[in-house]
Amino acid sequence: MSEPSIFTRILEGEVPSEIIAETENAFAIRDIAPQAPVHLLVIPKSAEYRNVVELAAGDPALLAEMIGLANSLASEHAGGDFRLIFNTGPAAGQTVFHVHAHVLAGDLDEGSLGG
Ligand code: AMP
């Protein structure tokens, strides 16, 4: 077995972080290094899937559940509009291989794809 991911350790209370919302199979925290006025992470409780490609193939309902949670958070913490980013692979900036969605919201630059 590999080491538990940082997100599993947060979920299990081993690393301090506030869980700001959860559904049956996913939870949300604030990113420790925010790149936007609102920068949240939506994370499956299970670390089974390393990235969004594996998640979409293995459990599309869980991917839909994550998107629903992102939408609720964007309504609660910003005006409702949001950008959803799944970094996929190290060359794309993925550093934690426990799939997670970055939810960016609040006064984002128009036309930018950046996160
Ligand atoms: P990625 O680079 O797409 O794998 O995203 C990993 C994200 O996790 C980065 O944006 C980090 O800032 C964030 N992160 C790492 N450790 C923590 C932590 N302890 N609490 C909250 N966010 C974290």
Distance from C-alpha of 1 to C-alpha of 106, rounded to nearest angstrom: 39
Residue 91, classed as helix, strand or coil, is helix
Which protein residues touch ligand 1 with a CB less than 6 Å away? Answer: 6, 15, 17, 29, 31-33, 41, 87, 93-96
73 pLDDT above the threshold of 90: yes
Q: Which atom of ligand 1 lies at the shortest distance from residue 31's CA?
A: 22
Closest CA to 5 of 97, 100, 86, 87: 97
Per-residue confidence (pLDDT) for residue 114, from 0 to 100:
54
Tell whether the model's pLDDT for residue 55 goes beyond 90: yes
57-68: b (≥16 Cβ within 10 Å) or e: eebeebbebbee
At the second CATH level, the architecture of 6-105 is 2-Layer Sandwich (3.30)
For residue 85, the cross-strand partners are 102
Residue with CA nearest ligand 1 atom 8? 31
Q: Which uninterrupted H or E stretch holds 105? A: strand 101-105
Percent of the chain residues past pLDDT 70, beyond the cut? 95
Q: Which residues are catalytic?
A: 100
CA of 21 to the centre of ligand 1 (A): 17
